[in-house]
Amino acid sequence: MTQVSLIKAQSYELKELRTSIKNLLLPFGGISAFVKKGDRVLLKPNLLTASRPTKECTTRKEIVYCVAQMVQEVGGKPFLGDSPAFGSAKGVAKANRYLPLCEALNLPIIEFNAQKYPIDNDNFNHLRLSKEAMEADVIINLPKIKSHMQLTMTMGVKNLFGCVPGKMKAWWHMEAGKDASRFGEMLVETAKAIKPDLTIIDGIIAHEGNGPSAGEPRELGILGASSNVFALDVAIADILNVSSEIVPTLVAQKKLGLCSELKEIEFPLLKPEDLRVENWRLPSALMPIDFGLPRVLKSTFKHLYIKLIKEKIKSE
């Protein structure tokens, strides 16, 4: 049976946080159960935006630091990667004060490049995913608990959409966004393809309301972990009293025969009822997932224009 480890955690202070994460991973045998000497380990946080660093809409840098440190101690070679909705991974990391901790550990920050990967699904015959993620020996997914104005909630599965590089995200919003169930299925297929070895979700301070960035911080005092990202999302939704029927990713994973019920999960430490959150705020209104063609074209044109200008400057 799939295990989901849940604990109470109150602080991002490094020493205390390190102890919390160590305790969180004990039921699995610690970080060494996932990382072996020489493994290239992708750490995939939620680096959403550089514009709201005080709103708790990105994974806390301290989480990344502690996990990277633990990976290094067992001989792994961690690197940090993401494809933010706006800006570069390094730019968003810098705005959220990641750089001093990354430099302290000599932790590289990389940008993702797309490559086509076939999948077995009647609705999608391939996905364009990060080559760097797919070639990593180990992937540790580090999402943030947040409400989401398009998908109700963003947790472990949605965080892996960051492994879809650059403007492919905008095209997916246009191509699959007219149908929330289809978009949710694409996200689940992406998570299946990426197949993270471990997901640790940051819920010490979460982000509720009009997320993923326009909501407000909410102290929950929760950390969760699992080798099964789908099971972890089920557990977090239950803690927050959010019905799986209104979260497209949870609907899709049930349709695809993936973990969708608490009875399929073993909780070796705390159970969801031990961490129940009252009055979690969902978005005040849901927005269309479809960005619309004009916005996609404008965004793509801007991206290509900037790229051409940079290439011209470089050649002069």
Q: What pLDDT, on the 0 to 100 scale, is given for residue 33?
A: 98
pLDDT band, residue 165 (cuts 50/70/90) = confident
Q: Tell me: pLDDT of 81 over 60.
A: yes
Q: Write the CB contacts of 229 (distance below 8 Å, at least 6 apart in sequence).
A: 141, 156, 157, 160, 191, 196, 199
Check: CB of residue 266 under 8 Å from CB of residue 1.
yes
Using alpha carbons, list the distances in angstroms from residue 244 to 135, 163, 174, 209, 254: 32, 24, 24, 17, 9
Q: What pLDDT, on the 0 to 100 scale, is given for residue 169?
A: 58
Q: What pLDDT, on the 0 to 100 scale, is given for residue 312?
A: 47
Q: What pLDDT, on the 0 to 100 scale, is given for residue 119?
A: 85
Q: What pLDDT, on the 0 to 100 scale, is given for residue 123?
A: 77
Distance CA 240, CA 115 (A): 36
Q: Domains of the chain, with CATH numbers? A: 2-315 (3.40.50.11440)
Average pLDDT in the chain: 89
pLDDT band, residue 314 (cuts 50/70/90) = low
SS (H, E, C) the chain: CEECEEEECCCCCHHHHHHHHHHHHHHHCCHHHCCCCCCEEEEEECCCCCCCCCCCCCCCHHHHHHHHHHHHHCCCEEEEEECCCCCCHHHHHHHCCCHHHHHHHCCCEEECCEEEEECCCCCCCEEEEEHHHHCCCEEEEECEEEEECCCEEECHHHHHHHHCCCCHHHHHHHHHCCCHHHHHHHHHHHHHHHCCCEEEEEEEEEEECCCCCCCEEEEEEEEEEECCHHHHHHHHHHHCCCCHHHCHHHHHHHHCCCCCCHHHEECCCCCHHHHCCCCCCCCCCCCCCCCCHHHHHHHHHHHHHHHHHHHHHHHC
Between 271 and 54, where is the model more confident? 271
Q: Tell me: pLDDT of 316 over 70.
A: no
Q: What pLDDT, on the 0 to 100 scale, is given for residue 178?
A: 63
Average pLDDT over residues 137-166: 95
